[in-house]
Amino acid sequence: MGQFGQLDVVVVNAGLFRMNLVDAVPLEELDLMLSVNVRGVFLSIQAAVPHLKDGGRIITIGSNATIRTGAPGNSVYQATKGAVAAMVKGIALDVAPRGITVNNVQPGPTATDVLADYVDLAAAGTALKRIAKPEEIAGLVAYVASNEAGFMTGASVTMDGGYVL
């Protein structure tokens, strides 16, 4: 399998976030978000599968927007992340004969550059009144990649501090 051998784990962390009300979403913005958030995730997985060892792990990074309302102007982002959650279920069936698991981690508001200007607003929308630290999300990803999660596949796991909006 080449110079570096096979892959054990693939984490697909592709995402583009834009907000616009449904009647104001430019076609170019819709196409771009679908291209990055859905097509990009699919193509990344498709490219990785031949290089994954049997029993390997595929983990996508989705969003709690898949199951939470969020805010007006979020419909395209929600739709793309919902597509990822659905895609994981189907791909899990495709690769199950090789013992490969496919799961989706759905973080809520997390301390990243995307939220830098909205930390207080985002924190107010959680039951815990704070946003996630990146290492908390990474801890969940590490668990999903572990042997202990070997019986979990096709699942979406949400970690969002009890997001209530």
pLDDT per position as a tens digit, 84-126: 999 999 999 999 999 999 999 999 999 988 788 889 988 999 9
Confidence of residue 165 (pLDDT cuts 50, 70, 90): low
Question: Given 77, 118, 143, 163, which residue is catalytic?
Answer: 77
Domain presence at residue 63: yes
Boundaries of domain holding 131: 7-159
What pLDDT is attached to residue 114? 78
**Phi/psi at 152 (nearest 5 deg)?**
-100, 120
Residue 59 lies inside a defined structural domain of this protein:
yes
- Residue 129 placed within a domain: yes
> Does a structural domain hold residue 1?
no
The answer as to whether 165 is a domain residue is no
- CATH number, domain with residue 12: 3.40.50.720
Whether 79 contacts 164, CB under 8 Å: no
pLDDT at 1: 58
146 domain residue, yes or no: yes
Cα-based distances in Å from 135 to 49, 112, 139, 142? 26, 11, 6, 10
Q: Are 10 and 52 in contact (CB under 8 A)?
A: yes
pLDDT tens figures, 31-90? 999 999 999 999 999 999 999 999 999 999 999 988 887 678 989 999 999 999 999 999
Is 149 inside a domain boundary?
yes
Residue partners of 32: CB distance under 8 A and separation at least 6: 16, 18
Indicate the number of domains in the chain. Answer: 1
Per the domain annotation, does 108 fall within a domain? yes
Is 77 designated active site? yes
